[in-house]
Amino acid sequence: MEEKTSIILSHRREGMSIREIARRNGMSRKTVRKYLREFDRETG
């Protein structure tokens, strides 16, 4: 899970939308949002 989270965060920092991140990684937008939420919870 940590690897996917880092990939998603990297794309987000590059300015990619959640939709584009989901398409590029073969996952739903809901899943991308879940990873971003979990990261926010862990880092406070």
**pLDDT value of position 36:** 94
Over the chain, what is the mean pLDDT? 94
For Cα atoms 4, 35, 2, give the angle at the middle one, nearest 5 degrees: 35
* Tens of pLDDT, residues 1-44: 689 999 999 999 999 999 999 999 999 999 999 999 999 998 88
